[in-house]
Amino acid sequence: DTEVTQTPKHLVMGMTNKKSLKCEQHMGHRAMYWYKQKAKKPPELMFVYSYEKLSINESVPSRFSPECPNSSLLNLHLHALQPEDSALYLCASSQVPGNLNTEAFFGQGTRLTVV
């Protein structure tokens, strides 16, 4: 199983809503990532978790709150978002951080629209 599963595939939320994006992998990977991708742009790193601990936060606004409950799950909690936060949110995972044989696997993404 080399799959990273993201739910939901599509999400529409109001600016006062609270919602969560979910990501799951069963490859035994110990590094998990959240990326944000705007239309016709490359993915931009938001957060990195290594061994279930937050290791990189790319100065992301606090309205995005990541959580890694265990080694297989990664959540992104959303609150008070702005329309400009509308994007494709991608989850990825890779083996032990720093391993030379690391390959990052991406999920299909959650298409988020903030209205």
Q: Using CB under 8 A, list all residues that contact other proteins.
A: 4, 31, 40-45, 48, 50, 55-56, 90, 92, 94, 97-100, 102-109
Contact between 57 and 67 (Cβ < 8 Å):
no
- Closest distance to other proteins from the beta carbon of 43 (Å): 6
Residue 85 phi, psi dihedral angles, 5° rounding: -80, -5
Instruction: Quote the least distance from Cβ 50 to other proteins, whole Å.
Output: 7
Tokens 């979910």 locate to 22
Report in angstroms how near the CB of residue 52 gets to other proteins at its nearest.
14
Instruction: Considering the complex, state which of residue 17 and residue 108 has its C-beta at the smaller distance from other proteins.
Output: 108
CB of 110 or CB of 114, closer to other proteins: 110
Of 22 and 79, the one with the shorter C-beta distance to other proteins is 22
Q: Are strands 110-114 and 10-13 parallel, antiparallel or unpaired?
A: parallel
75-85 b/e with 16+ CB inside 10 Å = b?
Answer: bbebeebeeeb
